[in-house]
Amino acid sequence: MIRNPPDWVIGGDERFTIQAKAENPNVTEAKLLGMLQRLLVERFQLRFHREDRLESGFSLVVAKGGAKLEKSKDDEVTGLDPFSKGNPTITISAHKSSMPALASLLSTFGPGNVTDETGLLDSYSFRLTWNDTEGPSVFSALQQLGLRLEPRKVPVSYFVIESAQRPRGN
């Protein structure tokens, strides 16, 4: 989550396209993110810090009857696709996905911040559809997978912008 952005970052109509290419085609995602961060610091004179807080949210846990998830096959292609079939219906189609990834998507599309406390370490394939207005709710939909959300204080990480400038031309 972002805190303290300048007006032109969130509320403005300005958009910037960043095109960059790593010299090493085998670079890891973590290194790419680090390179992107350095690029943003340089081009936008971005100064920031991170803040972690405990806030109201939910823990994703295994329900009493146990998880009803299909383990992914080794040759299955990884994919986690959230989409809306018409607001407010949300569907998550997952292939070879982890529970932390599901918790992250539920944080974005669900009832609030969600952390994974299932203890499930494998990758799974599933489809989760809910509509909190017309039903089923996200809480009911998760029960079909043998999962549930428990209200808790959960850690939330904020990206706090101290300052940022519009970039100049190349």
Phi-psi region of 86 (alpha: psi -120 to 50; beta: other; left: phi over 0): left
Query: Does the residue 168 lie in any domain?
Result: no
Spell out the per-residue pLDDT of the chain, length 170, in tens. Answer: 778 888 877 776 777 888 888 888 888 888 888 898 898 899 899 999 999 999 999 999 999 999 999 888 877 666 656 555 556 888 888 888 899 999 998 998 888 999 999 999 999 999 999 998 888 999 999 999 999 999 999 998 888 999 988 887 66
Query: Does the residue 64 lie in any domain?
Result: yes
Residue 93's domain comprises 2-163
Query: Does the residue 93 lie in any domain?
Result: yes
Query: Does the residue 91 lie in any domain?
Result: yes
Query: Does the residue 151 lie in any domain?
Result: yes
Query: Does the residue 169 lie in any domain?
Result: no
Residue with tokens 């370490």: 121
Give how many domains the chain has, as a whole number. Answer: 1
